[in-house]
Every structure is written in structure tokens, then in C-alpha cells.
Amino acid sequence: MMVNHDIAKALFDPKLEAIIDTVKHKSKTVKEIAKELNEKQSRLYYHIQKLVNLGLITIEKEKLVGNIIEKYYTSSHLRDASMTFEGDVAKEYHEKLLMKALFNMNQGINVLKEDLSSDPPPIHSNAKYSEQVVTLTLEEWEHINEEIVNTINLRSSKEVPDSNRSDYKFIVLTYKDDARSE
């Protein structure tokens, strides 16, 4: 998903990000979201509607409770979404984007550190690190980046039962190795 200005603004807003995160694994009502975020329900309706309009959360189901229809919101559809920040959006939100990238990379480094320092070592690693340096044209480099994202998006593990699945975060950072010396 190419991230536009409105989506980037929502993703980098701490309150909206907290709402998205709260309903990532389990759908919840506004009342449940408010309780988890220690917030008043009345202060969340506008933000939740904004996230629904942007497609960052969806209504998973509706239940009639007495005379009230309770909506259950989820952001689980984003778990398999690839978000790309480029051009004007990346430039406008560069500080927040860099902070988010550093935060996510640091989380991965900490998981790798735990794997490497645990005694006994884990049966299955929880983080993997690889580094490749290859000589490519600009077009080849762009194509490979696109292929990496497409490979992640097209995987077939959706057929595996949920009990055998876990969330894995892929952070793809590729860059021209000699760009720093130009």
C-alpha cells in the first residue's frame, strides 16, 4: 500500500496509532478500546471514524445489545499489508518516519541479541540478519526491491492454521552503498 498524506498523518499520530495497535489481534468495541487506552469513549468516536474512513481499521462485526448496535473494530487486515513511504509523503514526515524505522530496527536488534545471548540457544531463531552487497543498475535495484515486497505479500502461509502462525516483521532497507561518499 502506497501511503498518502492522510494515512501517514494518521499512522504517525500517537493516539490513532494506539487505537490501531489495540485492535490488531482482537476486534473490540469502542468501550473496550477506551478501557484499554484509559480514555473516555466520547473522545474516541471521532478518531475511530477517521481511521475507518482511511481504511486503517474496519468493522469486523456488529452485535445488537439491547437497543444498541455495538460495532467491533479491527486492524488485523494491516498485519499483512506492506506500507511504502516515498516521495513527498516521506519527505514531509521524514523525522517521524526515521524515528519509526529506528524504533522497529532496534526492536529487531534486541530480539536478535536475545537469541544470540540465550543459554541454551533457542531451537528456532526469532530474528535473522542478512546482508548482501551486489552491483546493479538503478533499474535492477528498483526491480529487486519490488520483488522482495511482492514475495512477502504473495506468500502462501495463509492456508496454515492460525495456531501455527506468528507475526513476523520485515524491515526492508536497501541503499546505494557508495552514496555516502558522493
- Average pLDDT in the 60-84 region? 88
Take residue 32 and report the three cell numbers written for it: 473496550
pLDDT for 13-23, tens place per residue? 999 999 999 99
Q: Which three cell numbers stand for residue 158?
A: 495463509
94-108 average pLDDT score:
92
pLDDT of residue 158: 58
Predicted TM-score (pTM) of the model is 0.76
Q: Of 52-66, 69-83, 98-112, where does mean pLDDT reach its minimum?
A: 69-83
Whether 180 has a pLDDT exceeding 70, the answer reads no
CA distances (Å), 59 to each of 23, 33, 52, 64, 80, in order?
A: 11, 13, 8, 14, 17
Cα gap 75→67, rounded to integer Å: 26
* pLDDT at residue 52 in the model: 96
